[in-house]
């Protein structure tokens, strides 16, 4: 497993570089081919490469879900080389989540039967899964369980609740003018975007755990020109769908403060919340198979598991590597936990596959889009 993780870590795969992601997909495919004895299906959407293995003739009943893209730019290995020392594995993307991809493939290889199993490894999760969401939801709709190989929470806790995410971009159109000679003839987009920043920040509700955070900001072109354009990105995190809808309505109802300014709202709801109800039964099952005490956590970050839980599919997240430092200089994986967590995933998968359910989840959709009961 360490050798396989090294192979993936050394094949850098920033989400925005489709050629790098394609090379990474081939590295994943090679490991899967060796372990599972079959080639994956290569699915390319808008230039981004995803991989899928399906076993058996019927629709998928269990989905192992992961991604092979990372936030690390090409060249990160020069400053953050792969290493294993004192039981700790390091390297860009090892924790989030190349170790999880390797664990999924090794767990599948250990199964006595794989009929009904699907493994989906996407290439754009770190940028919100814009090219793979439909693929994920289609693959999950007939499943009785989705096991997400995102890294664990602190101490190895499984992630049984995740906030939903909305992402917006507020664009302001003003009018340029000379800042010294005739500023009154301009419409200052920088001032207007400041008003909009204060308005969206006021939508946060700490008591309900709702965060609304203005992030990337830009305005103007030169120091002596009234800004004609400005923009700000907004990151929203919520625990429940009602809050997500409330904030969405409020953002879309924003109006300019300056009568001659114009604003445009781009983006919207990206991922629904992953409610604890979606993971409760699977977490109880996981506790039966765990080699030791197993804890759960609610986290502010989202994953592709939010999509499947939003469809009403039982979903358990955080089954990947134990370690820490996702997206950070100290990203690392605890080596001793790799075989234990992989054995847990294999046991969960085998158990659900062995249970022949008489119906698919009530929120699943058939090919016509009608709810199946």
Q: Which residues are catalytic?
A: 69, 125
Closest CA to 147 of 90, 113, 112, 97: 97
Can you tell me the distance from the alpha carbon of 22 to that of 168, in angstroms, rounded to the nearest whole number? Answer: 28
Can you tell me the distance from the alpha carbon of 120 to that of 292, in angstroms, rounded to the nearest whole number? Answer: 28
Q: How far apart are the first and last CA of the chain?
A: 41
Q: Does the N-terminal peptide bond of residue 82 adopt cis geometry, omega within 30 degrees of 0?
A: no
Residue 4's alpha-carbon distances to 22, 94, 349, in angstroms, are 17, 11, 21
């Amino acid at each position: 497993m360490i050798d396989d993780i090294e192979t993936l870590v050394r094949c850098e795969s920033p989400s925005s570089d489709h050629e790098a992601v394609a090379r990474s997909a081939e590295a994943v495919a090679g490991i899967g081919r060796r372990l599972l004895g079959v080639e994956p299906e290569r699915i390319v959407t808008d230039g981004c490469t995803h991989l899928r293995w399906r076993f058996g003739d019927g629709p998928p009943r269990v989905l192992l879900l992961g991604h092979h893209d990372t936030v690390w730019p090409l060249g990160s290995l020069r400053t953050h080389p792969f290493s294993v020392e004192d039981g700790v594995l390091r390297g860009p993307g090892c924790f989030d989540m190349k170790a999880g991809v390797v664990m999924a493939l090794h767990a599948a290889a250990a199964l006595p039967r794989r009929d009904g199993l699907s493994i989906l490894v996407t290439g754009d999760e770190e940028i919100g899964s814009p090219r793979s969401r439909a693929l994920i939801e289609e693959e999950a709709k007939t499943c009785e369980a989705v096991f997400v190989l995102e890294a664990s929470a602190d101490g190895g806790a499984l992630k049984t609740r995740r906030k939903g995410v909305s992402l917006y971009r507020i664009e302001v159109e003003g009018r340029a003018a000379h800042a010294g000679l005739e500023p009154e003839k301009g419409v200052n987009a920088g001032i207007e975007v400041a008003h909009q920043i204060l308005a969206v920040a006021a939508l946060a509700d700490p008591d309900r755990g709702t965060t609304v955070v203005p992030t990337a900001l830009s305005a103007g072109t030169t120091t002596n020109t009234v800004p004609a354009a400005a923009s700000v990105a907004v990151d929203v995190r919520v625990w429940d769908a009602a809050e997500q809808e409330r904030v969405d309505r409020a953002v879309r109802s924003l109006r300019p403060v300056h009568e001659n300014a114009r604003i445009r709202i781009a983006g919207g709801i990206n991922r629904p919340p992953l409610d604890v109800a979606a993971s409760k039964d699977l977490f109880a099952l996981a506790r039966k198979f765990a080699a030791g005490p197993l804890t759960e956590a609610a986290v502010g970050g989202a994953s592709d598991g939010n999509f499947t839980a939003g469809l009403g599919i039982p979903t358990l997240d955080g089954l990947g590597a134990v370690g820490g430092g996702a997206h950070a200089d100290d990203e690392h994986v605890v080596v001793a936990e790799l075989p234990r967590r992989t054995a847990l995933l294999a046991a969960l998968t085998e158990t659900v596959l062995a249970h022949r359910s008489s119906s698919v989840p009530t929120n699943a959709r058939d090919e016509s889009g009608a709810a199946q009961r």
